């Protein structure tokens, strides 16, 4: 049992599953049995008796409730199972980014910790270049890892069930307590240090989903010129980050954590973050590196913008069948209907833009004036 209050946030898409709340609540009961104080995104009453609220206002209230759950959180357990397509739920990864930004212990669980290159069955392998492409023909970033580098960098990933993850979490807390008494060891907390100094113009970090594609650096240089013409310094995922050493290594996890350090430093260094929230790898979820950076940037108080090819409501984007109470996709998952094109975590916190890239920069410029 816990010796003192320890707040644990449970993140995952079970609320969208048929009968998912039953399983989700069982997670809460199990964690509470071991003495944790549990917070979940659906805690707190959202609508007073007799009150009528719009879908948009409801999404804002749910988002504020998630932010409340993150206050003084000590740890997060995230469900990393694939959701729509090959990616985990984008809203859950957003919450992982928030928890990381608050210095919480971050754990994730999955039944499938095989590498992306193996479990992404639509991958097309190119033996000459030793790379793989996804269903859209774009480079499959880091196919030797089980998840994107930001998930790898932020979370301890457990292969197994929620119960397996909770057991390891509890064990790690016990060991950390022993080490604290024995060697003065304590859990590292990111100091959120800005290393991009002597700035004279706003810095925009473009959280791009095509960061691993062939030719990405060259495309970004052209976009950098466009940002420059509007008075912005652009930062891209492929850029070096001041203060972060580039480590040459054959070990995929060392390399992933080094890249993770670079990405998170870019978020800390920027004034504005621009998020590519388009569907990724042929599914209906955004790139998980982007989703993580969105949650992290929100906690750091960055100005947030996102762009999509289609910013219409999600119910118009995802094939679904209406029921008496909601809408369900082909797997029976609830399709959110909050008048936003994607998960409410993004819809409630990110100003969405569309059009050409120049239109998007102009939108940022106009909003900042």
- 3, 353, 367: which is closest to 177 by C-alpha? 3
**Which pLDDT score, from 0 to 100, does residue 183 have?**
47
Every domain of the chain and the residues it spans: 7-368
Alpha-carbon gap, residue 308 to 189, rounded angstroms:
33
Task: Give per-residue pLDDT as tens, 217-253.
Answer: 999 999 999 999 999 999 999 999 999 999 898 888 9
User: How many other β-carbons are positioned within 10 Å of the β-carbon of residue 4?
Assistant: 7
**Whether 98 contacts 146, CB under 8 Å:** no
Task: Give per-residue pLDDT as tens, 144-200.
Answer: 899 999 999 999 999 999 999 999 999 999 888 777 655 454 444 456 689 988 889
The continuous run of DSSP H or E covering 180 comes out as helix 162-183
SS3 357: helix
pTM to 2 decimal places: 0.87
Query: Which of the 8 DSSP states describes residue 49?
Result: T
Alpha-carbon gap, residue 13 to 89, rounded angstroms:
6
Domain 7-368 has CATH 3.40.50.450: yes
Alpha-carbon gap, residue 140 to 142, rounded angstroms:
6
């Amino acid at each position: 049992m816990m010796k003192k209050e320890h707040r644990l946030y449970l993140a995952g898409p079970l609320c969208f599953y048929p009968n998912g709340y039953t399983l989700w609540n069982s997670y809460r009961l199990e964690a509470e049995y071991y003495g944790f104080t549990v917070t979940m995104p659906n805690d707190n009453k959202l609508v007073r008796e007799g009150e009528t609220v719009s879908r948009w206002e409801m999404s804002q209230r749910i988002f504020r409730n998630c932010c409340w759950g993150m206050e003084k959180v000590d740890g997060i357990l995230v469900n990393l199972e694939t959701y729509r397509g090959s990616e985990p739920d984008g809203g859950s990864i957003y919450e992982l980014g928030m928890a990381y930004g608050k210095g919480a212990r971050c754990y994730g669980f999955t039944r499938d910790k095989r590498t992306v290159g193996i479990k992404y069955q639509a991958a097309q392998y190119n033996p000459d270049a030793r790379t793989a492409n996804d269903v859209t023909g774009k480079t499959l970033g880091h196919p030797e890892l089980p998840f994107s580098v930001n998930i790898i960098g932020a979370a301890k990933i457990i292969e197994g069930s929620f119960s397996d993850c909770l057991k390891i979490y509890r064990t790690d807390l016990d060991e950390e307590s022993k080490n604290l008494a024995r060697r003065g060891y304590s859990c590292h907390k990111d100091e959120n240090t800005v290393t991009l100094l002597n700035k004279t113009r706003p810095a925009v970090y473009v959280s791009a989903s095509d960061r691993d594609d062939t030719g990405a650096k060259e495309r970004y240089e052209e976009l950098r010129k466009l940002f420059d013409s509007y008075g912005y310094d652009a930062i891209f995922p492929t850029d070096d980050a001041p203060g972060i050493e580039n480590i040459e290594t054959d070990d995929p996890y060392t390399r992933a954590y080094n890249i993770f350090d670079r990405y998170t430093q870019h978020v800390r260094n920027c004034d504005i973050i621009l998020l590519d929230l388009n569907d990724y790898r042929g599914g209906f979820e955004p790139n998980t590196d982007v989703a993580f950076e969105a949650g992290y940037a929100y906690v750091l108080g960055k100005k947030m913008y996102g762009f999509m090819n289609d910013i219409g409501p999600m119910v118009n984007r995802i094939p679904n069948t209406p029921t008496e109470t909601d809408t369900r996709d082909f797997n029976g998952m609830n399709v959110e209907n909050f008048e936003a094109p994607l998960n409410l975590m993004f819809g409630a916190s990110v100003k969405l833009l569309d059009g050409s890239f120049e239109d998007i920069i102009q939108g940022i410029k106009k909003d900042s004036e």
